[in-house]
Structure 1
Amino acid sequence: MSLEIYQIILITLFAFIAINDSLISNTLQQPAIAGMVSGLIMGDLTTGLMVGGTLQLMRLGIAAFGGASIPDYFTGAVLGTVFAVISGRGAQYGIGLAVPVALLMLQLDVLARFCNVFILHRIDKAIERMQLKRIPKFVLSGSLLFGFSRAIPILLMLIIGDHAVVAITNNMPDWLMSGLETAGGVLPVVGIGILMRYLPTKQYIPYLLLGYFFAAYLEVPMMGVTVIGLVAALLVFKKGNEKTNQGKQNVENTENILEGGYGGDE
């Protein structure tokens, strides 16, 4: 499969918009959303969701606190999905390819932030000189630089990588291709492990074992296990609300006793 021109344009525009959206809502930059949109553009939504969803699990608990740069799982999800569809190797190949791409793009994120610091100093000088009309232009230029930091590399990779990926895939040794596919199969387990690390897993071990039993032994489809999990979550939520309401009622009764004495005799 080869990339069409409209696909290259749409993916590049999406990358430009998504990286700027990360400064506001940080929604489009999520790997799951990036994989889904890229999958829709490439005509393979399933692969996009699998690649993006796996990288989303790996991104949990990681944030750019204090301006620190983290692996760019957004770009990894986009390019991983595209190249997985182009090569025809499936989601595991795309996941294995997305991780090194995310680590590589980390350096460009540092460069983009460095350039924006220069623009920020220009804004400070414009404020000191009361050149208020120049400030919106500087802000817009900073947004353009930040967007180009993802859009240009992705555009180049899509233009050059289209034929390169197909040629490399066709001539790649079986042991290397198998290694990438194996790594792609292992990474979802790592993501699940990270997710369980940040959730109160010990508190809900029975539900975890129940879900494993349904999936592994009864071979219930993932949607069925999801529905069972939703029911369990609703029951836990309802039980928690009942305890909260009962606690409030006990507090109110205690306050009434303290105000009027025992039985109102004091």
Structure 2
Amino acid sequence: MTMSLGIILILCLYVIIGVLDQISIQIGPYTPLFAATFTGWVMGDLQTGLMIGATLQLMTLGVATYGGATIPDFLSGAIMGTAYAIISGKGAEYGIGVAVPIGLLLTQLDILGRMCNTFFQHKADKFAEVGDYRGVERCNVLGIIPWTMSRILPVFIGLVFGEKVVSLINEMIPAWIMTGLKASGAILPAMGIAILMRYLPLKKYWPYFIIGFVLLAFGAEFFSVLGVALVGLALAAMYVMNQQHKVPVTSTNNVVDEYDDEEVEIDE
């Protein structure tokens, strides 16, 4: 399977949208879930795109560019990983295994894009000193160019030579490495879930976690992920409503009781 120039241009346009979303309102297109799903849809294999995107999304939970830190470029990695998986026909595990090193490698281009952006920001400082607010706005807009180019160029080159790149990878990489990539791709979802659990308040709400686990582990024939999510929503609503009917206990002389950190439900 080869990629047409039209598909490549559509995916490059999506990269631009993803970058603009990442540095502005962040409603979703910049995430690997959206990127991989869109790539799979455009290339006619939505299921593979969903599998790759969902796995990479789990890896990015809680990851952000705090303080301007550079993080793996899973936007580009998701697009190229999904495209390579579909072109090669090796499945989602292969695409995940390829997307991760691509995302890590492209951190260097992210740094280069940020460095080039400083040129426009210094120009903006000079415009600000003379009170030229239009010049400041113009520099901020132009600063988007190096940022987007740091994503578009690798994606465009990777997709244009995609089939040749995949063939070259298949010829050069030993079979045991390919097996390792597939194994790591299968392990990554578990690692993502572990990262998510690390940030959740499981010590306080562990009963709800057990309920969800039991429903999926022992009732998979009757419950889907959506069904368990709705049960969780109902339990959360019940918890919130119960909390709203509780008031802290205080002594008669307006001195807070020694057990004021606990709450007692009062019948209405």
Scaled by the length of structure 2, the TM-score of the pair is 0.84
Unaligned runs of 5+ in 1: 256-266
1:218 and 1:128 mapped to 2: Cα distance? 66
> Size of the alignment, in residue pairs?
251
Q: 1:166 to 1:217 in 2, by over 3 A?
A: farther
For 1:238, the equivalent position in structure 2 comes to 238
Overall identity of the aligned pairs, in %: 39
Deviation of 1:18 after TM superposition, in Å, equals 0.9
Higher relative contact order (CA 8 A, sep 6+): 1
Alignment of 1:128-167 (within 5 A): 128-167=129-168
Structure number with the higher helix fraction is 1
1:121 and 1:155 mapped to 2: Cα distance? 30
SS in 2 for 1:24: coil
Unaligned runs of 5+ in 2: 255-268
For 1:72, the equivalent position in structure 2 comes to 73
Kindly provide the CA deviation profile for residues 113-136 of structure 1, in whole angstroms up to 9, marking residues without a partner as x.
111112101111122234444334
1:45 and 1:5 mapped to 2: Cα distance? 20
1:87/1:169 contact within 8 Å kept: no
RMSD: 2.4
Deviation of 1:244 after TM superposition, in Å, equals 1.6
Deviation of 1:201 after TM superposition, in Å, equals 2.1
1:213 and 1:140 mapped to 2: Cα distance? 51
**Which is worse superposed, 147-156 or 121-130?**
121-130
Deviation of 1:32 after TM superposition, in Å, equals 1.1
Q: 1:148 to 1:73 in 2, by over 3 A?
A: same
1:57/1:191 contact within 8 Å kept: yes
For 2:7, the equivalent position in structure 1 comes to 7
SS in 2 for 1:247: strand
For 1:203, the equivalent position in structure 2 comes to 204
1:86 and 1:24 mapped to 2: Cα distance? 33
SS in 1 for 2:110: helix
Kindly provide the CA deviation profile for residues 210-235 of structure 1, in whole angstroms up to 9, marking residues without a partner as x.
443444444437x6143123213312
2:215/2:228 contact within 8 Å kept: no
